[in-house]
Structure 1
Amino acid sequence: MFERIRKYAARSRGTGATEGAGMSPRGERRAHNLFEAAATYVAARAEDDQDRLEEASGWVSPEALSFGVSELACRAVVELARVRAQSPRTVARDLLGLPVA
């Protein structure tokens, strides 16, 4: 949530273009965090973009990427469960095509 606020504030100051390209507001190269890597990795898998998938895989360690993907999956299931008014367990099983337990 704070990351979204920070990005919004950066865009309102006119620095969003450089930050989106992996640069800090001062034009310095910045490191990607594990959540950026996870979001990019999952989106690339969904879009079957092998180049972007490999790029995101190199931003953080495999362990950090695994943690980020797991956290993203958890948050996505919780949000989808809220939208569907179902339990996270029901949503997760449905997304994976598993029978209702």
Structure 2
Amino acid sequence: MFGRPRKTFARFLTSTRAEAREGPQQRGHNLFEAAAVYVSARAEDDQDRVYEAAGWVSPEALSFGVSELACRAVVALARERDESPRTVARALLGLPAA
């Protein structure tokens, strides 16, 4: 019952501490960082982090970052499985082999 509010509050404290360490010259989030957080939050069904990451960059930049992450993941899995990227992508989406 208290898991979600506790996690949200813990994230808030962590970000506040990070801001205090970084000082007034905070670095912004880049699109790949936003894409990584967005995709991992979607996988973990963490809607708060999804919204947070989506606010870091423009929707177009986030879309590009997610696309780039997907491409890199498919290539990495294809190498690991010794299969073609096309076969891996179709398998991940549950599509029949072409």
TM-score range, shorter chain: 0.7 to 0.9
Name structure 1 gaps, 5 residues minimum.
1-17
Normalized per residue, the structure richer in helix is: 2
2:76 pairs with one of 76, 79, 83: 79
Residue 42, structure 1, aligned to residue 39, structure 2: yes
Q: Aligned-pair distance for 1:30?
A: 1.0
Q: Aligned equivalents of 2:53 and 2:59: distance in 1? A: 10
Query: Considering only CA atoms, is the larger Rg found in Structure 1 or Structure 2?
Result: 2
Alignment of 1:1-101 (within 5 A): 21=18, 28-101=25-98
Name structure 2 gaps, 5 residues minimum.
1-14
The count of residues paired between Structure 1 and Structure 2 equals 83
TM-score (norm 2): 0.77
Question: Percentage identity across aligned positions?
Answer: 74
Q: Aligned-pair distance for 1:28?
A: 2.5
RMSD: 2.2
Letter paired with 1:82: R
